[in-house]
Structure 1
């Protein structure tokens, strides 16, 4: 989400103008994101824009503050395709605890919600709408198709976590696909164009190093908030990958391999100037432990760990405690 876009919307609403909303700014309304959705098209943004007024200014101003503070927050959109049904439709047999009142009204709505379940909107939502509005913190509205007459979309007010895959191995190809699917931005690095191909990594940024080795890896910059998975083919350049990731203080560094191989990698990492503390920051072996063996199974273990690290990194201690309690853990 771009700060200037929200500022322009606020300025338009304060001046009594109808803002222009574009799928380029609100990606949940893109044709790609809505593919197969029979109830919403990118053109619905025009309906949303026409529904906005000066009463919606606090919603967008709260979103601006979330951007400035790095808050884990979303802008949500209530999409109404059958107003009468949306109002009439009450909770099903499982979720009756939310009452016997359907949607508060048959009108679209833009709202703000963050990981602490703070909601800001121009109108008071019904208890059932509140239940669905809070669900955007689980992704693009987990229960968005639960009730007839309306659906829900959301766009995050924070950046994707960047995952570096050092090595274009078969496991890395599987990791790239899964990591992209669960919302990571993925970059794969290798020196062989035959492996760093669009066919193997269709949804990742691909970087080909010159020279037939990983010497040029030092020319790339990794941010402290990035994650690094060292998955080089044949483990030939694992030491270079670990040194690079720890030198850039990556938030997470994981290394694949057995203990014997990793003992040798440790020797080479320390010989390259890294410290024992640097080495201890490397998660090894990478991934959660549940008997994974094949590249696809290993990818599930690795991406599951990445999701867990991201969860712990993003959510506040109080939000995590509440979630853990709900899981009975």
Structure 2
């Protein structure tokens, strides 16, 4: 999310102008995001813009403050395609009861919600609205199609976590697709252009190192909040990958491989100047353990672990404690 976009919206609303909202800034309304949804398409963003008034300024100002504070927060959108159904429909005996009221009204709404479940909106939501507001801003989209007459969407006010895939192996190709699908920004690094191809990594940033090896990786930098998966082809450059990731102080480093191979990589990592403490930061083998063998199965194990680490990185201690308790950990 771009702060300048939110500031421009606030300025327009204060001057009584209808703001221009684009799918580039609110990708939950893009053609790709709404494909196959008969109730939602990019044109609905114009309806959202037309419904905004000066009363919505506090919502966008709260979003700006959340971005300044690094809060885990979202802007959410109530999307109405049948106003009567949206307000009349109620829970049945299977779902939790939220009273007899449906949605508070049949109009579009933009709202703010964060990890603490603080909600800011220009109009008072109904209890059922609140239930869906919270759900659509945690997944970022759960139960958004639960009730007739309306649906929900959201955009995060925080950046994606970047995952570096060191090596363009078959497993890395599978990890890239799945990691992108669950909201990571993916960058794949290798020295062989034939493997770092658009066909194998259609949605990832691709870096081709010169020299036929990983020596030039030292000239690349990652951020401390980034994740690194060491997945080099044939494990040939796993030591270089581990040394680079630990020197970059990446938040998470994982490496695939068996115990025997890891022992040799361990020796080479230490010989390259890394410390024993650096080595212990490397999760090995990478991924959750459930018998994964094929590249696609390994990708599920790896990305599942990345999701778990991302949750712990982003959420409050209170939320993490609830999460861990629910998992029996």
Q: TM-score, normalised by structure 1?
A: 0.98
Equivalent positions of 1:218-237 (< 5 A) are 218-237=218-237
1:138 counterpart SS class: coil
Q: Deviations over 1:17-48 (max 9, x none)?
A: 11111111111111111111111111111111
TM superposition shift of 1:54: 1.1
Tell me the equivalent position of 1:148.
148
- For 1:319 and 1:117, locate their aligned partners in 2 and report how far apart those are by CA, in whole Å: 11
TM superposition shift of 1:328: 6.0
- For 2:248 and 2:116, locate their aligned partners in 1 and report how far apart those are by CA, in whole Å: 31
Equivalent positions of 1:167-316 (< 5 A) are 167-316=167-316
TM superposition shift of 1:60: 0.3
TM superposition shift of 1:326: 4.9
C-alpha RMSD over aligned residues: 1.1
Tell me the equivalent position of 1:25.
25
- For 1:50 and 1:206, locate their aligned partners in 2 and report how far apart those are by CA, in whole Å: 40
1:302 counterpart SS class: helix
TM superposition shift of 1:325: 4.4
Q: Quick check: 1:174–1:296 contact (8 Å CA) kept in 2?
A: yes
Equivalent positions of 1:119-138 (< 5 A) are 119-138=119-138
Unaligned runs of 5+ in 1: none
- For 2:325 and 2:166, locate their aligned partners in 1 and report how far apart those are by CA, in whole Å: 36
1:152 counterpart SS class: strand
Sort the Cα spacing of 1:234 and 1:96 in 2 relative to 1 into closer, same or farther, 3 A. closer
1:98 counterpart SS class: coil
Q: Deviations over 1:245-289 (max 9, x none)?
A: 001000000011111111111111111111111111111111111
- For 1:274 and 1:221, locate their aligned partners in 2 and report how far apart those are by CA, in whole Å: 17
1:163 counterpart SS class: strand
- For 1:325 and 1:84, locate their aligned partners in 2 and report how far apart those are by CA, in whole Å: 40
Q: Deviations over 1:112-137 (max 9, x none)?
A: 00111110001110000100000023
Tell me the equivalent position of 1:39.
39
Tell me the equivalent position of 1:165.
165
- For 2:3 and 2:317, locate their aligned partners in 1 and report how far apart those are by CA, in whole Å: 27
1:217 counterpart SS class: helix
Q: TM-score, normalised by structure 2?
A: 0.98
TM superposition shift of 1:304: 0.6
Equivalent positions of 1:66-145 (< 5 A) are 66-145=66-145
2:24 counterpart SS class: coil
Q: How many residues get paired?
A: 329
Q: Quick check: 1:238–1:255 contact (8 Å CA) kept in 2?
A: yes
Q: Quick check: 1:209–1:217 contact (8 Å CA) kept in 2?
A: yes
1:32 counterpart SS class: helix
- For 1:308 and 1:6, locate their aligned partners in 2 and report how far apart those are by CA, in whole Å: 30
